[in-house]
Amino acid sequence: MTKTVDSYRFLDGITSRMMKHWATLGSPQQIPWSPLAKPISQCTVSMVSSAGIALKSDQPFDEEIERRDPWSSDPSYRVLPRTTATGDVRVYHLHINTSFAQQDLNCVMPLERLCQLEALGEIARSAPSHYSYMGYTVRPDVLLRQTVPAIIGRLRQEQVDAVVLVPV
């Protein structure tokens, strides 16, 4: 039986209505498209997470930006090496329960699972670098003008063939 995902299953009534309204605001535009140039088994794959994940050795995401001004958020990104494990990171996100990701990073950023697929030959390799940013972004200007181009530059440098964007 074919499944149709219910976008609103885990939302309360008010938030559901809000999200349904947001879904009507998407501006029609040309959908970006790059054909996959080779089988996934020959691809270098990277992942980008909106969970606000940072290495403990790296600068934390600044949650105070959002606490001071609820329309703003930290627009920066962090790099997560392919071998990053759960104990290496902290998760900074004010809209979800981050304890699941803190118990097991693979819940939101499956780095270990991607390495497993590499070991099984199902992908060529997990890219050296993966990325995370804070997903609550009402003012996307800096994210779009600075963060995204910076991530794209690094993806190209590492000759990544495919990117999986993982929401939370």
Among 107, 142, 148, 150, binds other proteins (CB under 8 A): 107
Q: What share of the chain is helix, strand, coil (3-state, %, to 5)?
A: 35, 20, 50
Only one of the segments 53-61, 76-84, 88-96, 149-157 lies at the binding site for other proteins (rule: CB under 8 A); that segment is 88-96
Among 59, 83, 85, 100, binds other proteins (CB under 8 A): 100
Q: Which of 59, 83, 97, 157: binder of other proteins (CB under 8 A)?
A: 97
**CB of 138 vs other proteins, minimal distance in Å:** 5
Q: Structure tokens of 156?
A: 């190209």
Asked if residue 96 binds other proteins (CB under 8 A), the reply is: yes
User: If you write DSSP's letter for every residue of 1-48 in order, what string do you get?
Assistant: ------TTTTS-HHHHHHHHHHHTTPPP-PPP-----S-GGG-EEEEE
